[in-house]
Chains A and B, each alone.
Chain A
Amino acid sequence: MLEIHDLHATVDGNEILRGIDLMVNKGEIHAIMGPNGSGKSTLAKILAGHPAYEVTRGEVLFEGRNLLELAPDERAREGVFLAFQYPVEVPGVSNAQFLRLAYNEKMKHFGDEELDPLEFKDLLSERAKIVEMDSSFMTRSVNEGFSGGEKKRNEILQMAVLQPKLAVLDETDSGLDIDALRIVAAGVNKLRTPDNAIILVTHYQRLLNYIIPDFVHVLFRGRIVRSGGKELALELEAKGYDWIKDESEAAPVGAAGA
């Protein structure tokens, strides 16, 4: 589903990604871990098409197509979804209004029937159950006045409505208390199917107790320096990131990778 080859990227002229290689098949959950500043969020934003990041080398294929050639809204309609680390507040626009527009844009894209506000309301209340959000959130402005946990749940609600093929969850666990974490994780698990794929970007192993990844990758200084199964996350939890840092600094450039 997703193939990343030798991806290099800069923001404001600074090179953040220095040759990422990653292969994600449908039905898989990949966790990308790493210390702060390693490039995890940059990778997530590049997949979504954030304009502040410039790809300087490499390629990204999504279902065989060049993802980097697609505008961010096209990527979304084609099925790429980014759950933001810091969801944005949009004053004056209700959650329901926004979600229906997004849903209908996708329907239109595939030539399917759009839903009117009443039909959409039914769909929305059903999907909202996945993240245990009550209907009062639907009439409120997008993320405005939401707590940190509510914002993250709202991201997963958007995922539930749009049902992407590839979901990239950027530190969706950070700032959540254990109850909120359980709700978010349960929501993601319910949305998992054999046909979609999920990339979890996280700093902590904690989330992976609730969403079990098939693969864990460690990102450090813009490269994937180690890949493994879910036990790698436990190893990281036990040893910390310093071990990775020491090891990767000792290794010759380009030797580490997926």
Chain B
Amino acid sequence: MAPPERKEFMTAQAIKERSLYRAQFEALRADTGARFPSWVGRLRAGAIERFEELGFPTTDLEDWKYTNVAPIAKTTFVAASSDEARTATADDIAPFIYPEAARSRLVFINGMYRDDLSSVDDLPEGVVAANLGDAFSGVHAETLREHLARLASDEPDAFTALNTAFFDNGAFIYVPKGVRAEVPLHLLFLSDATTEQTISFPRVLVVAERESETTVIESYAAVGDGTHLTNAVVEVCVGEGARVTHYKVQTESERAFHIASTWADLGRDGVYDGTTITLGAQLSRHGISVRLDHPGAECWVDGLYLVGTGQHADTHSLIDHRQPHCISHQNYKGILDGKSRAVFNGRIFVHKDAQKTDARQSNKNLLLSNEARIDTKPQLEIFADDVKCAHGATVGQLEEEELFYLISRGLHNELARNLLTYGFAEELVEKIKIESIKTQLDEAILNRLHARLEV
């Protein structure tokens, strides 16, 4: 039991945290409220209230048992001003852009859209990739009203509430019925952490109409090494027979906090293929929730986390099988080096009516040091009786026989270890269909391993 003085202090601290955000909220409302329609104002008012009710999660909550966000709660983060977001240049973003999306790219600095660094010349007829903040008054105003916060609203999640209360800029992607977007759409969220303690609220809404096909890359990176917080919410609405391929690549600085949630729902025969790569941030949490809401839908929810000393990466997933004949595949792999920590919580929920569900989940972890720690937990809740559900989690070190095999061919011990570790990650890297992301990841992985493998 904590002594009463401490409890009192925590209460005072909690009030301080919340009032800080309330004060910022009021200032924001006065400042930018007029740019948004009234329904957004109501949404925000509800969200800040919900945030105040919930407060930042503590480790007393089952969902946050292994991830302590007290360092976030205790820090006074301030939203970056538009002026600050103007300092980044084309040179700053150059290392983070993908040539495949050279003319289908939106760039955000500290959450604020930068028209001059973005390029959307290469989009097919009818496809929209625009700053969310500008889309409320456009032709898709009704689409936004229908879908924004539809998926991300009903969960008691303080960070999602905080994003809904504060988001300003962000990305709106719309792919009309039957259109296939050949080029990937890249959303680059760059944190300029040269100023300390900035917070950004990236918000993304993807609406893929029936039988459309699109690829979205969502990447997070940082310049400068100040502490900052990225609080992102991404909603993906996959229409009937539509197909969305989604890559999330997070390479923020080692002082960053990254709290993000992805919400997808799938129409009949819709396909969502998501891959999340987590390499950066001192503390990251990614919640991904996929709702299989119509028969015949299929999803891949895959990920790779590679963390070293001082890093903590948490993945919480929910695959929600609500209708019959849906298939879900989940493959998460983790590589933990030094004094690092990771959490994987994979929840699969099969509703009573979701007969003929086929759900597979795998979480494999490679521990490269004795000081690394992983908490992995599958969580299956099955209420239908005619389903196939398979899950497996492993935690291990490099296989001695594999190691000896490589060494017996003349590879030095360290090189052999690096090669095996690289091979462990490759299963997920190989899955990625965009060459420059693959190259970037190979380099990042090899750098992390301090390896000199040329591949």
A44 CB to nearest chain B CB (Å) = 11
Q: Decide: A106 near B405, CB < 8 A? Known: A92-B422, A92-B430, A93-B419.
A: no
Give Cα A37–Cα B116 distance, bound, in whole angstroms: 74
Is B23 part of the binding interface, using a Cβ–Cβ cutoff of 8 Å? no
Which residue of the partner chain A has the closest CB to B430? Answer: A92
A111 CB to nearest chain B CB (Å) = 15
B367-409 Cβ-contact flags toward A at 8 Å (1 or 0): 0000000000000000000000000000000011110111111
B454 CB to nearest chain A CB (Å) = 7
- A-B pairs, top 7 by smallest CB distance, nearest first, are A92-B423, A92-B426, A76-B410, A88-B405, A102-B409, A93-B423, A77-B410
Is B420 part of the binding interface, using a Cβ–Cβ cutoff of 8 Å? yes
Select one of B404, B405, B415 contacting A101, CB under 8 A. Answer: B415
Q: Decide: A72 near B426, CB < 8 A? Known: A90-B402, A93-B420.
A: no
Interface residues of A in 203-256 (CB under 8 A from B): none
* Interface stretch (choices A4-12, A15-23, A24-32, A48-56): A48-56
Q: Which residues of A contact B (CB under 8 A)?
A: 48-51, 71-73, 76-77, 82, 84, 87-93, 97-98, 101-102, 105-106, 109, 116-117, 141, 158, 162
* Residues in A whose Cβ lies below 8 Å from that of B425: 92
Give Cα A53–Cα B425 distance, bound, in whole angstroms: 31
Select one of A49, A98, A158, A162 contacting B419, CB under 8 A. Answer: A98
* Residues in B whose Cβ lies below 8 Å from that of A88: 399, 401-402, 404-405
Q: Across the interface, do B453 and A90 meet the contact criterion of CB distance under 8 Å?
A: no
B401 CB to nearest chain A CB (Å) = 5
Is B455 part of the binding interface, using a Cβ–Cβ cutoff of 8 Å? yes
Q: Across the interface, do B419 and A101 meet the contact criterion of CB distance under 8 Å?
A: yes
* Residues in A whose Cβ lies below 8 Å from that of B136: none
* Residues in B whose Cβ lies below 8 Å from that of A105: 410-412, 415
* Residues in B whose Cβ lies below 8 Å from that of A91: 423-424, 426-427
Q: Across the interface, do B404 and A51 meet the contact criterion of CB distance under 8 Å?
A: yes
Q: Across the interface, do B405 and A90 meet the contact criterion of CB distance under 8 Å?
A: yes
Which residue of the partner chain A has the closest CB to B400? Answer: A51
Q: Across the interface, do B402 and A162 meet the contact criterion of CB distance under 8 Å?
A: no
Q: Decide: A158 near B409, CB < 8 A? Known: A88-B401, A88-B402, A101-B453.
A: yes
Q: Across the interface, do B422 and A73 meet the contact criterion of CB distance under 8 Å?
A: no
Q: Across the interface, do B408 and A76 meet the contact criterion of CB distance under 8 Å?
A: yes
Give Cα A50–Cα B423 distance, bound, in whole angstroms: 22
Q: Across the interface, do A72 and B408 meet the contact criterion of CB distance under 8 Å?
A: yes
The count of chain B contact residues (Cβ–Cβ below 8 Å) is: 28
A106 CB to nearest chain B CB (Å) = 5
Most chain-B CB neighbours within 10 Å: which of A89, A90, A106, A162?
A90
Is B413 part of the binding interface, using a Cβ–Cβ cutoff of 8 Å? yes
A50 CB to nearest chain B CB (Å) = 6
Q: Across the interface, do B405 and A73 meet the contact criterion of CB distance under 8 Å?
A: no
Q: Decide: A93 near B426, CB < 8 A? Known: A88-B401, A88-B402, A101-B415.
A: yes
A158 CB to nearest chain B CB (Å) = 6
A74 CB to nearest chain B CB (Å) = 8
Q: Across the interface, do A72 and B407 meet the contact criterion of CB distance under 8 Å?
A: yes
Contacts A72-B407, A90-B406 aside, 20 further interface pairs with beta carbons under 8 A come to A51-B400, A71-B413, A72-B404, A73-B410, A76-B408, A88-B399, A89-B402, A90-B419, A92-B425, A92-B426, A97-B453, A98-B409, A98-B419, A101-B415, A102-B411, A105-B412, A106-B410, A116-B454, A162-B409, A162-B410
Give Cα A42–Cα B415 distance, bound, in whole angstroms: 26
Q: Across the interface, do A50 and B410 meet the contact criterion of CB distance under 8 Å?
A: no
Q: Across the interface, do B409 and A76 meet the contact criterion of CB distance under 8 Å?
A: yes
Which residue of the partner chain A has the closest CB to B425? Answer: A92
Q: Across the interface, do A141 and B412 meet the contact criterion of CB distance under 8 Å?
A: no
Q: Across the interface, do B420 and A101 meet the contact criterion of CB distance under 8 Å?
A: no
B288 CB to nearest chain A CB (Å) = 24
* Residues in A whose Cβ lies below 8 Å from that of B427: 91-92
Most chain-A CB neighbours within 10 Å: which of B411, B413, B453, B455?
B411
Q: Decide: A49 near B411, CB < 8 A? Known: A90-B420, A90-B423, A92-B423.
A: no
B423 CB to nearest chain A CB (Å) = 3
Most chain-B CB neighbours within 10 Å: which of A102, A141, A158?
A102
* Residues in A whose Cβ lies below 8 Å from that of B413: 71, 73
Give Cα A78–Cα B114 distance, bound, in whole angstroms: 59
Q: Decide: A93 near B405, CB < 8 A? Known: A101-B411, A105-B415.
A: no
Which residue of the partner chain A has the closest CB to B421? Answer: A92
* Residues in A whose Cβ lies below 8 Å from that of B416: 73
Which residue of the partner chain A has the closest CB to B415? Answer: A101
Q: Across the interface, do A141 and B423 meet the contact criterion of CB distance under 8 Å?
A: yes
Can you list 16 A-B contacts (CB < 8 A)?
A: A50-B404, A72-B404, A73-B407, A73-B411, A76-B407, A82-B408, A88-B402, A88-B405, A90-B402, A90-B419, A91-B424, A91-B427, A92-B425, A101-B411, A102-B406, A162-B410
A104 CB to nearest chain B CB (Å) = 9
* Residues in A whose Cβ lies below 8 Å from that of B422: 92-93
Which residue of the partner chain B has the closest CB to A73? Answer: B407
Select one of A73, A90, A97 contacting B412, CB under 8 A. Answer: A73
Q: Across the interface, do A109 and B410 meet the contact criterion of CB distance under 8 Å?
A: yes
B333 CB to nearest chain A CB (Å) = 10
Give Cα A139–Cα B455 distance, bound, in whole angstroms: 12
Give Cα A162–Cα B416 distance, bound, in whole angstroms: 17
Give Cα A200–Cα B453 distance, bound, in whole angstroms: 33
Give Cα A65–Cα B454 distance, bound, in whole angstroms: 33
